[in-house]
């Protein structure tokens, strides 16, 4: 078997990432050697592979669904937004420069198609099947000429395409029909059918519409996946305007101790790797909330300043919002604060940045004895160490180089009192360390909170991935899906007018 499939979507956030992961987990449980692939990913949530390459977090999660180690081949192009109009381009795991959207789509993207197809071919030579994820919608007709992630990769590699639609948003039938009808005949010939995502209610009420859709397009629906809470793992979106009020889903189990712990995460601009807090949200009795107003820090037992692609911009934002003063008051009162990566850097004394913001010398919040200088070379490592008497694993993705001038060593950073700073992402996924850290936070906050002794973040992640596999196995036509992966799109699929505009 040397199969493949492209999971496209009618829109961004239609569920492509989780559907791809679900198909991967279903296949690996059938004994298939499978790998994920996304030609081009735009995300501020990234991960470092064991060979020191930076890829999207979603592809790392999908690799885990496949039970294989993630590699740079699985996400050859990663775009990390630095604002509304420019992104850092990461090619095969290494940054190659900043580029505006116009410059990227004006020629650079087309030149990357060869690299993308070579990466996919190398994966297909090593695995029985490769399940590819598209981006946005394949019917973005303004970008089709330079497309390397949707129909461009499907046509270049001869992949059948399954289009996912989020029925919870409404308009799914129009979205399915319109997606096909806006594609060129050569692209339409690869679109095998549809998958409905996030359905609530009685499927029998949906079936007449699916039959009509088949009559209109000549394409079948491969499954209707029910709505399930808590499946949005390792999200890609790092450019939300405001996350105020958003609460990470916590475990259903009640707290072990008498109190809960409230964690406030500052929703800084260009926030990166906010998946760091997922391990906290998985703890019974820990409530994680994103905030953007100083009054929302008042009842928090722990404040986290997360990573960001714009450290200086985040620092300005904290000051403009009054959050910087609120954090400083907490530190003066001995109340817990944790800075991660960019959040660690801005807690320091000053920053020299001629790389990211090009702002030169900028005064930090002065809450940790640290000075930061931005280097052109990006640090990409998978460190292992010890903190609070526990083994810790993490990963580092940063241009800022920290000079620690005092305090107590904490991972690669430091702590002063109950203020901690580190460049290590993912450290809270280490169960023993997370529990030790939460015990310290609870003691400092005066909370009678007790970490659950048996919580395993890795096991919870595996359970989530198995739930995704169950969704595919129980609610998709897996026999038809298998034939699609193995044999490609059915022949004779009809053209749906008008097709792509000239």
Known catalytic residue: 425? yes
User: Phi/psi zone of residue 116: left (φ > 0), alpha (ψ -120 to 50 degrees), beta?
Assistant: alpha
Residue 295, exposed/middle/buried by CB under 10 A (0-12, 13-18, 19+)? exposed
Cis-peptide into 498, omega within 30 deg = yes
User: Phi/psi zone of residue 445: left (φ > 0), alpha (ψ -120 to 50 degrees), beta?
Assistant: alpha
Indicate which residue of 399, 423, 425, 475 is catalytic.
Answer: 425
Question: Could you count the other beta carbons within 10 Å of the beta carbon of residue 456?
Answer: 13
Known catalytic residue: 341? yes
Residues in the chain: 502
Indicate which residue of 132, 266, 341, 414 is catalytic.
Answer: 341
Alpha carbon of residue 397 to chain centroid: 15
DSSP class of 285? T
- Distance of alpha carbon 344 from alpha carbon 407, whole angstroms: 14
Q: Could you tell me whether strands 413-416 and 408-410 are parallel, antiparallel, or unpaired per DSSP bridges?
A: antiparallel
Taking CA 231 as the corner, what is the angle to CA 225 and CA 235, rounded to the nearest 5 degrees? 120
* Cβ contact 8:195 at 8 Å: no
Which of 497, 492, 480 is closest to 189 using CA atoms?
Answer: 492
Question: Could you count the other beta carbons within 10 Å of the beta carbon of residue 433?
Answer: 23
Q: Which residues of 363-402 are buried (b: 16+ CB within 10 A; e: fewer)?
A: ebbebbebbbbbeeebbbebbebebbeeebebbbbbbbeb
Q: Which positions are annotated as active-site residues?
A: 341, 425
């Amino acid at each position: 078997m040397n199969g493949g499939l492209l999971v496209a979507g009618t829109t961004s956030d239609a569920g492509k990432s989780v559907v791809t992961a679900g198909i991967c987990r279903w296949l690996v449980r059938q004994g298939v050697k499978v790998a994920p692939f996304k030609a081009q990913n735009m995300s501020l949530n990234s991960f470092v592979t064991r060979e020191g390459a930076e890829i999207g977090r979603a592809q790392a999660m999908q690799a885990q669904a496949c039970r294989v180690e993630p590699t740079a081949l699985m996400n050859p192009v990663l775009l990390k937004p630095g604002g509304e109009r420019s992104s850092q381009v990461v090619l095969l795991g290494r940054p190659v420069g900043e580029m505006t959207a116009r410059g990227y789509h004006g020629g650079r993207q087309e030149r990357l198609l060869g690299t993308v197809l070579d990466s996919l071919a190398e994966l297909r030579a090593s695995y029985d099947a490769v399940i590819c994820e598209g981006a946005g919608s394949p019917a973005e007709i303004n970008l089709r000429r330079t497309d390397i992630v949707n129909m461009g990769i499907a046509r270049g590699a001869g992949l059948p395409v399954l289009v996912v639609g989020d029925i919870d948003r409404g308009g799914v039938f129009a979205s399915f029909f319109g997606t096909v009808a806006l594609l060129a005949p050569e692209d339409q010939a690869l679109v095998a059918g549809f998958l409905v995502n996030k359905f609530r209610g009685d499927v029998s009420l949906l079936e007449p519409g699916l039959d009509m859709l088949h009559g209109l397009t000549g394409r079948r629906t491969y499954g209707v996946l029910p709505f399930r809470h808590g499946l949005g793992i390792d999200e890609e979106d790092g450019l939300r305007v405001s996350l105020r009020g958003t609460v990470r889903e916590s475990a259903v189990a009640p707290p072990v101790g008498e109190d809960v712990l409230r964690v406030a995460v500052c929703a800084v601009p260009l926030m990166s790797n906010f998946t760091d807090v997922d391990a906290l949200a998985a703890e019974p009795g820990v409530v994680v909330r994103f905030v953007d107003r100083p009054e929302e820090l008042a009842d928090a037992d722990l404040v986290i300043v997360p990573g960001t692609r714009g450290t200086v911009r985040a620092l300005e934002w904290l000051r403009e919002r009054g959050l910087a003063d609120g954090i400083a008051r907490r530190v003066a009162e001995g109340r817990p604060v944790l800075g991660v990566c960019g959040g660690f850097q801005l807690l320091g004394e000053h920053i020299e940045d001629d790389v990211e913001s090009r702002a030169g010398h900028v005064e930090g919040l002065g809450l940790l004895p640290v000075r930061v200088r931005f280097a052109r070379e990006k640090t990409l490592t998978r460190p292992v160490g010890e903190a609070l008497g526990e083994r810790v694993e993490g990963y580092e993705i940063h241009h800022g180089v920290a000079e620690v001038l005092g305090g107590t060593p904490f991972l690669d950073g430091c702590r002063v009192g109950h203020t901690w700073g580190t460049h290590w992402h993912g450290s809270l996924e280490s169960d023993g360390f997370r529990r030790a850290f939460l015990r310290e936070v609870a003691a400092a906050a005066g909370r009678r909170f007790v970490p659950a002794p048996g919580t395993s973040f890795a096991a919870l992640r595996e359970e989530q991935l198995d739930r995704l596999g169950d969704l595919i196995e129980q609610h998709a036509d897996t026999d038809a899906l298998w034939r699609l992966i193995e044999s490609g799109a059915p022949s004779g699929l009809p053209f749906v007018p008008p097709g792509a505009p000239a």
